[in-house]
Chain A
Amino acid sequence: MSESAVEVSGLTKRFGDFAAVEGVSFAVERGEVFGLLGPNGAGKSTTIRMLCGILAPTSGEGRVGGHDVGREPEAVRERIGYMSQRFSLYLDLTTEENLEFYGGIYGVARERLSERIGWALEMAGLEEQRHRLTGELPTGWRQRLALGCALLHEPEVVFLDEPTAGVDPISRRRFWEVIYGLAEAGVACLVTTHYMDEAERCDRVALMYGGRVIALDSPEGLKRQSVAAGLLEVACEEPGRAVALLQKTAGVKRARLYGAGVHVVVSEPATGARLVREALEAAGLRPSRVEAAEASLEDVFVALIQEAEAGGAR
């Protein structure tokens, strides 16, 4: 039982010459909320599809709940809960009927099923909507129902594929409370997301780009990464002109608008602040503030991806 809930090593999927996922390795522990991030086409969905036993890996290994995803896809599917951005609910069935269908497919014993349906309705806050058609429910409610369906059989591992796309902030917060509850109960949760604030909520995050994992750490760990070092927050006049100017200044790696000011990444953190201030003063842009800032997760990801792109071009 020392095995992790999800173990991935060297997982690769090729479609012809195109490697959608290449050499991906990570592990998700029981009770952990693990985030999978990356731009569209980075290989997140392909990775999840392999881990759900839908897509056979070209090479490498994936084990979910102790079962090999390539060799025992059925055993894997019985042990996981999966919820996607496009909720696979039957809109012409009621809330309860959807739950009954999923319970039947997951083979939840009849006497246990009503108890589990009660649990799911309570968890999703849908007790009052039990007999309403799913198609009449707002998106946020449907999302919680979809989660309830995916959890009916008490899976050891839950895959949430962009679960909060198109959901209002309050529903999203409530949704994350459910996820933390699951993690506390020892369920391994693997979440893909576009939202940075959601990435911050994960215990650990893997950033995927071009089919590879290019960084894997806790959100705090990622922010401490060297790529994000040398970030300066600048307040000055005419920030638009400042960005154009700084992008051409030697010793500045990147400059972009950030809020009312400018975020600048310099190659030499020790001397960078002085360099930027001098450049702006010379141009008459009157910098009122130039100081080191803590990188946001977004800064880190942008930096990591640009670095990966540069590496790929090399």
Chain B
Amino acid sequence: MNGDRILAVADKEVRYLLRDRRSLGVTLLLPVALLILYGYAINFDVREIPLAVYDPDRSAESRDLVQTVTRTGYFRLVRTLDSPRQAEDVLQRGEAKVVLVLPAGFAADLAAGRTASLQTVVDGADSLTATISLSYLEAMAQEWSLRRLAEAGGGERRAPPISPEVRVWYNEGLASTHFIIPGLVVLILMMVAALLTSQTIVREREQGTIEGLVVLPVTPRELIAGKLLPYVAIAAVDVALIGVAGKLLFGVPLRGSPALLSGLMLIYIIAALGTGLLISVLTRSQQLAYMIALIATLLPTMLLTGFVFPVASMPKVLQMVVQLHPSTHFMVIVRGLALKGAGIGVLWPRALALTVIAGALLAASAAKFKKTL
């Protein structure tokens, strides 16, 4: 490896980037734009679920229960039904996601000391909202029952059999932004970095300049290193912008060491850039390289590497396969560092895996590049 030759390649690449200022601007601002867009758009906190009520009982008790449910802000009363038949209609039209039916005799049953029934119909087509609605409703019904028991207890106040003392650590408010934003950072960096380098070698192939490079006394390793350098710098700027945006706009904390995060992020970026380089070496056209880079980074990072769906609940074989994707490891690292304040003592296996993947990607690019010459 000759430093001067690496610098000559890097210098050329920088001038190339500077010549196309619009693309450079897009490259620098796109990540932040994506973060802001998706940071606000993707939200798993379910609020204001549209609710319809059928209440033939029309008692003080039934009205009180409905009020308890709607007061919290999780449900919004959109319609009061006149007949149970209308339930299907409102669910089908999506007007409401949940229908509460308080049967006639609800108050009478309560007064007689019998267990009153409360029918809940949930639109299961949206299973995520359905699950969350059900758990909210169960909790509210439970709370309402306990309160009534306490009020009507007449001295004979009964304590519930178990009272779980739940403490949520690391994300006390269970804010889904704290879960999503670090994941988005992983996704955006991977995608932007891989797209950046996916063009760099295939472009030389398309324009024929690769023929000239072959007869020059520059080795594949020097070439790969020289091409990598400017993009590491660009990605570092992206990281800084994303970090600031994540903190200022979304209030995601950074509880671990900023230095450690920066260091690991650098390794991750190199792995992502290496992914793009390998694609660039293997493909024959810039468009194809672009498509492959997009598919290889966006889909797996979004669906398979634990961004939304936990890796642990995937089939065993797939779990092993996704260990090869740099995002899988960095997802754990970023969440660990940002939210849990984890240190290298805990994260080192992930850091090691990331380093090995980054090294392997670059070595493969250089080796494959040499062969295709």
A97 with B15, Cβ < 8 A, contacts A77-B216, A105-B218, A106-B216 known = yes
* A106 vs B215: C-alpha distance when bound (angstroms): 11
- Judge if B209 is at the interface, Cβ distance under 8 Å: yes
Which of A35-43, A87-95, A215-223 is found at the contact surface with chain B? Answer: A87-95
Query: CB-CB contacts of A106-131 with B at 8 A, as 1s and 0s?
Result: 11000000000000000000000000
8 A Cβ contacts from B208-225 to A = 208-219
- Judge if A100 is at the interface, Cβ distance under 8 Å: yes
Minimum CB–CB distance for A135 against chain B, Å: 10
Summarize B's interface: helix, strand, loop or mixed. Answer: helix
Count: A-B pairs, CB below 8 Å:
68
Minimum CB–CB distance for B11 against chain A, Å: 7
Asked if B209 and A90 sit within 8 Å, CB to CB, the answer is yes
Of A86, A90, A97, A106, most buried by chain B (CB within 10 Å of CB) is A90
In the complex, which residues of chain B have a beta carbon less than 8 angstroms from the beta carbon of A52?
215
Asked if A89 and B209 sit within 8 Å, CB to CB, the answer is yes
Asked if A93 and B16 sit within 8 Å, CB to CB, the answer is yes
Asked if B211 and A104 sit within 8 Å, CB to CB, the answer is no
- Judge if A252 is at the interface, Cβ distance under 8 Å: no
Minimum CB–CB distance for B13 against chain A, Å: 10
Asked if B11 and A89 sit within 8 Å, CB to CB, the answer is no
- Judge if B373 is at the interface, Cβ distance under 8 Å: yes
In the complex, which residues of chain B have a beta carbon less than 8 angstroms from the beta carbon of A89?
209, 212
Asked if B5 and A86 sit within 8 Å, CB to CB, the answer is no
- Judge if B2 is at the interface, Cβ distance under 8 Å: yes
- Judge if B118 is at the interface, Cβ distance under 8 Å: no
- Judge if B371 is at the interface, Cβ distance under 8 Å: no
Minimum CB–CB distance for B260 against chain A, Å: 36
Query: CB-CB contacts of A144-160 with B at 8 A, as 1s and 0s?
Result: 00000000000000010
- Judge if B318 is at the interface, Cβ distance under 8 Å: no
Asked if B213 and A88 sit within 8 Å, CB to CB, the answer is yes
Asked if B15 and A105 sit within 8 Å, CB to CB, the answer is no
In the complex, which residues of chain A have a beta carbon less than 8 angstroms from the beta carbon of B8?
100-101, 103-105
Query: CB-CB contacts of A49-82 with B at 8 A, as 1s and 0s?
Result: 0001110000000000000000000100110101
In the complex, which residues of chain A have a beta carbon less than 8 angstroms from the beta carbon of B209?
88-90
- Judge if B101 is at the interface, Cβ distance under 8 Å: no
Cross-interface CB contact of A90 among B5, B16, B211, B219, cutoff 8 Å: B16
* A43 vs B278: C-alpha distance when bound (angstroms): 32
B: contact size bracket: 20 to 34
* A93 vs B12: C-alpha distance when bound (angstroms): 8
Question: Which residue on B lies nearest to A75, using beta carbons?
Answer: B217
In the complex, which residues of chain B have a beta carbon less than 8 angstroms from the beta carbon of A93?
12, 15-16, 19
* A263 vs B208: C-alpha distance when bound (angstroms): 42
* A103 vs B8: C-alpha distance when bound (angstroms): 8
In the complex, which residues of chain A have a beta carbon less than 8 angstroms from the beta carbon of B293?
none
- Judge if A47 is at the interface, Cβ distance under 8 Å: no
In the complex, which residues of chain A have a beta carbon less than 8 angstroms from the beta carbon of B16?
90, 92-93
Question: Which residue on A lies nearest to B208, using beta carbons?
Answer: A86
Cross-interface CB contact of A54 among B7, B9, B214, cutoff 8 Å: B214
Asked if B373 and A54 sit within 8 Å, CB to CB, the answer is yes
- Judge if A84 is at the interface, Cβ distance under 8 Å: yes
Asked if B9 and A105 sit within 8 Å, CB to CB, the answer is yes
8 A Cβ contacts from A201-255 to B = none
A101 with B211, Cβ < 8 A, contacts A74-B217, A107-B4 known = no
* A105 vs B212: C-alpha distance when bound (angstroms): 11
Minimum CB–CB distance for B22 against chain A, Å: 13
In the complex, which residues of chain A have a beta carbon less than 8 angstroms from the beta carbon of B119?
none
Asked if B19 and A88 sit within 8 Å, CB to CB, the answer is no
In the complex, which residues of chain B have a beta carbon less than 8 angstroms from the beta carbon of A86?
208, 211
In the complex, which residues of chain B have a beta carbon less than 8 angstroms from the beta carbon of A74?
217, 219
Minimum CB–CB distance for B100 against chain A, Å: 66
* A121 vs B210: C-alpha distance when bound (angstroms): 23
* A145 vs B286: C-alpha distance when bound (angstroms): 27
15 of the cross-chain contacts (CB-CB < 8 Å) are A74-B219, A77-B215, A84-B211, A84-B212, A88-B210, A90-B12, A93-B15, A100-B8, A102-B216, A103-B8, A104-B7, A105-B217, A107-B2, A107-B5, A107-B217
Query: Top 6 A-B pairs ranked by shortest CB distance?
Result: A88-B212, A104-B8, A82-B215, A77-B217, A78-B217, A101-B12
Known pairs A74-B217, A90-B207, A105-B218 / 20 extra A-B pairs, C-beta < 8 Å: A52-B215, A54-B215, A54-B373, A82-B212, A84-B212, A88-B213, A89-B209, A92-B16, A92-B19, A93-B15, A93-B19, A104-B4, A104-B5, A104-B7, A104-B11, A104-B12, A105-B5, A105-B8, A105-B9, A107-B5
